[in-house]
Amino acid sequence: MPLTDSNGIDHYETGLLTFCHLQKGHFRQLKRLHQTVNTMWDDAINSLVEEQHTRVATIEDEEERQWTAESYSHDIVDRIQMEEIHQRALLTALQSQLERSLFGLCRLIAETHKLAGRDSTPLEEFKTNKGIKRGLSYLTKVAQFELSGIAHSRNIVMDVQQVRNHITHNHHEITTAALASTIGKHPTWFEGKQGDTLQITPLFAPEYVKEIDHLFDALQEQVITFIAALSTDST
């Protein structure tokens, strides 16, 4: 693709042509962070379990042995709970980054329209939906992106957003049948039924980032189509 199109716009310089690729890098960084922290918690828990067994085996007094075992058990439960907090925080971070990324792409689209002398609705004036759904709606309705081919990935993103909203507003209890139904669609990522505490498995982050990769691959294809159509309209 030429550096400058028929409108005189260098889409590398504006950042539009490289935007989706760079966003994928942000999500992969979050995935690597998750893997590092998850390994740290697993190592800490395994070390405590091993230390517990070794220490308890050396104690002859029954009461002291029981007290020591319970003390270690409390420490192990604390570490497990910290790992669960990390999983929930990571899910929230992924969704926040996805919203920022989509909004960033929307603003680049609006700026590109402006540079090409086209009328366009700024994201701030586009009131359809909220959050991630708002960004996707903007891309389909204003930028005319064709995203029907990635309906599966979009549905997954919105399922995770439902979980994120519930975590944010209702902590980690599964309080509704609707949330329990959504969780049930992704059994390798989420565990729990209505009335339980939501559990997020270690598989969630790496597998979900793959879905986000698919989403941004599709968005990149639509960016190229958008640029080509913009150039064609100017001739």
Chain centre distance of CA 58:
46
**Confidence (pLDDT) at 38:** 80
Sign of CA dihedral 180, 181, 186, 188: positive
Per run of 10 residues, the mean pLDDT along the chain (length 235 residues) is 69 91 93 84 85 85 86 83 86 95 96 87 88 94 92 94 88 87 95 90 92 95 91 64
- Residue 16 forms beta bridges with which residues? none
Q: Is 171 helix (H, G, I), strand (E, B) or coil?
A: coil
Map residue 10 onto helix, strand or coil: strand
Would you report the helix, strand and coil content of the chain in percent, each value rounded to 5?
Answer: 75, 5, 20
At 209 the pLDDT is 94
For 141, the 3-state DSSP assignment is helix
